Amino acid sequence: MAAINRDDVAHLAHLAHIEMSAEELDRMAGELAVIVDSVKSVSEAAGDDVPATSHPIPLTNVFREDVVGHTFTAEQALSGAPDAYEGRFKVPAILDEG
């Protein structure tokens, strides 16, 4: 399996929406390389015949009655928002139009 390098970390940080300084990228690349190396035996542990387990105790058809349950008021829902306007979340610009 491929090792993880500084460019990978920069790309992943971008995907994960975390700004990182040059120094942080260097350090993180070193640490992650060690961690990734230590977990690589996992890919050799199980053969193709072993099914995957996504959930320790699988439950199926978990439904509830189709009735209105507890809901928040707009005020409650916005109570922790860093910015709100007229009862709505206020979001920074989605597109950079310069």
Partner 1 sequence: MTENNELIRSSAAALAGKLAAREVSAVEVTQAHLDRIAAVDGKVHAFLHVNTDEALAVAAEVDAIRAAGGAAAGELHALAGVPIAVKDLIVTIGQPTTAGSKILEGWHSPYDATVVERLRAAKMPILGKTNLDEFAMGSSTEHSAYGPTHNPWDLDRIPGGSGGGSAAAVAAFEAPLALGTDTGGSIRQPGAVTGTVGVKPTYGGVSRYGAIAMASSLDQIGPVSRTVLDSALLHQVIGGHDPRDSTSLQDPLEDLVAAASIGNVAGMKIGIIKELHGEGYQAGVENRFNESLELLRGAGAEIVEVSCPNFKYALGAYYLIMPSEASSNLAKFDGVRYGLRVLPKDGPMTIERVMGATRAAGFGDEVKRRIILGTYALSAGYYDAYYGSAQKVRTLIQRDFDAAFAKADVLISPTAPTTAFKLGEKLNDPLAMYLNDVATIPANMAGVPGLSLPGGLADEDGLPVGVQLLAPARQDARLYRVGAVLESLLEAQWGGPLLDKAPSLTDPSLTGSALSDAAASSHGGSH
Binding interface with partner 1 (CB under 8 A):
1, 4, 8-9, 12-13, 15-20, 24, 28, 31-32, 34-36, 38-43, 45-46, 50-57, 59, 62, 64, 70, 72, 76-77, 79-83, 89, 91-96, 98
Q: How far is the CB of 88 from partner 1 (least distance, A)?
A: 11
Query: What gap in Å lies between CA 58 and CA 12, rounded to an integer?
Result: 31
Which is nearer to partner 1, 26 or 83 (by Cβ)? 83
Cβ atoms 89, 83 nearer than 8 A? yes
CB 32 within 8 A of CB 13: no
